Structure 1
Amino acid sequence: MTQKYLKSLKNKFSVAYVTVPNTEVGKTIGTGLVKNKLAACVNIIPQVTSIYEWKNEINEDSEALLMIKTRTSQVNKLTEYVKAHHPYEVCEVISLPIQNGNPQYLQWINDVVPEPKADL
């Protein structure tokens, strides 16, 4: 693959992070994201400890972390899907652009996750 092709993939894809209360919720959300073509892959990382302030109290909870590979142009739809299926009042959905990576892997994301349809 050419350097020009690799540059064309820069920022086209993102990794989104979502914390969930447990791996079962993670599996449900992750499966829905992949089935709905909003993500190519969702990794579930169990047993992360989250320390945060919520409603003026410091909390510490055991959670799982979803690491979601997707198209940058699908992050908004992915966020809406997660919000609609997540049990938290305010759920974490943050994303970072993929700057570089294995070209074949990036091409796979490109092949699996379609561009969003334009609103008519």
Structure 2
Amino acid sequence: MAIMVGTTVASREEARKIASACVEQGLAACAHIDEIESVFFWNDAVQNAAEYRVFLKTAGASYDQVEKLIASLHSYDEPAIFSLPITQGSESYLRWIAENSSGPK
């Protein structure tokens, strides 16, 4: 099954570093980077911050490796790393994700 793995980071450079590493290592077929505003509870208070969201399209079987790679490159003490199933999509697109996200070639 295809999934999207998501995380948020503090800078565009960090987002690009994570996205590039996952794609270059064959763990994600592609990545999207968006600038966002986040509101969250941290250090006993509501926080507000500009962040960058990274969504990686990958194979479900690659999740553990993607999570480890993100964690190794991430600057946060408690990074958000999660997956969402891609339950539907064109057959050719889902095949492309599978072919390009199962590890080094």
Letter in 2 for 1:16: V
Instruction: Note the C-alpha offset of 1:77.
Output: 1.1
Q: Where has structure 1 moved over 4 Å in runs of 4 or more?
A: none
Instruction: Note the C-alpha offset of 1:57.
Output: 1.3
CA-based RMSD: 1.4
Give the structure-2-normalised TM-score: 0.93
Residue identity (%): 26
> Which among 102, 113, 117 is matched to residue 90 of structure 2?
102
Which one has the bigger strand percentage?
2
Instruction: Note the C-alpha offset of 1:76.
Output: 1.3
User: Greater CA radius of gyration, 1 or 2?
Assistant: 1
Kept in 2, the 8 Å contact 1:73–1:115? The answer is no
Q: Which residue of 2 aligns with 1:16?
A: 5
Kept in 2, the 8 Å contact 1:71–1:115? The answer is no
Partners of 1:74 and 1:87 lie apart in 2 by 22
Deviations 1:43-92 (A, max 9, x none): 0012x111111121110000011111000111111111101000101101
3-state SS of the aligned residue for 1:106?
A: helix
Greater relative contact order, per chain length (Cα 8 Å cut-off, separation 6+): 2
Partners of 1:115 and 1:83 lie apart in 2 by 17
Aligned residue pairs total 104
Instruction: Note the C-alpha offset of 1:37.
Output: 1.1
Instruction: Note the C-alpha offset of 1:115.
Output: 6.5
